Amino acid sequence: MAPDKGATPICFSVLKPDHGAAEVIERDIILEAPIAIEYNGIGYAVMMATPIDLEDYAVGFSMSEGLVSHTDDILAIDAHKADLGWILRIQVPQENASKVFARARQRVSESSCGLCGMDNLEEVMRPLPHITAQIAVADVAIFSALSALRSHQTLNAQTGSAHAAAFCAPDGAILMTREDVGRHNALDKLIGALARANIDISAGFIILTARCSLELVQKAILANCPMLVTISAATDLAIDMAKKSGLRLISLARADSALTAMPQSG
């Protein structure tokens, strides 16, 4: 069954400070639904997400979780609408399924943060691989992409409440965008969409309409993305992890300015 559209119309009564005549309007509201993710029939996680682009989400989530390395590692994907949400059934080869069984969990989270189910500090703060890809991106290309981003956020334009993850060419052209109620989900969807389209993520950079926390940096590093730009500020852990892994991190990106952390002085 095909996923729902990303929004649904709801009627609202408009409140005003002058106690004027009551007004009723209809607005499109973003969908949020529990997505139960299964691998080879084993329940792995229940995430809250917008039920669109679920095949992209299945691939990106699986890659971000380290359960698969390539799209070829996924044998089948089935998105099934249930009474209370969605069931995302993913089939992987037995060698990949062993990773699932070792880390299987059944829990509800706000979104796919990439840290769910980890049971010790060492695992959360584990060293990540160093990014092998390097690209040259002029400052003007970054601001060009930021200026164009709004026109690619169709679900957010409709609802006013969707995060976006956009993949950009080095010249700033936006090549692909995915949206979701959760910032982590939007990034997973984009990673999955790029993998399914055989687009090399290391040949461009990503913009996120979100604050930049550790788990988003981890996802970008694991995907071998050389540069991440976020609309809101980054956390100290995100900056530290980006430096250690060679990820160029730009945050608090606005039309007229953006921040990139300076190297620490001795």
DSSP characters for 176-203?
EEEEESSHHHHHHHHHHHHHHTT--GGG
Q: How far is CA 90 from CA 75, 87, 121, in A?
A: 8, 10, 29
113 is catalytic: yes
State the virtual CA torsion across 253, 255, 257, 261 in degrees, nearest 10. 20
Place of tokens 């991440």: 228
The span from the CA of 32 to the CA of 55, in Å, is 17
CA angle (153, 156, 157) in 5-degree steps: 80
Calculated CA dihedral for residues 56, 57, 61, 62, nearest 10 degrees: -50
Which of 113, 116, 168, 225 is an active site residue?
A: 113
C-alpha separations of 81 from 77, 78, 151, 158, 224 in Å = 13, 10, 30, 23, 33
Where is 147: in which H helix or E strand? helix 139-149
* Active site residue ranges: 113
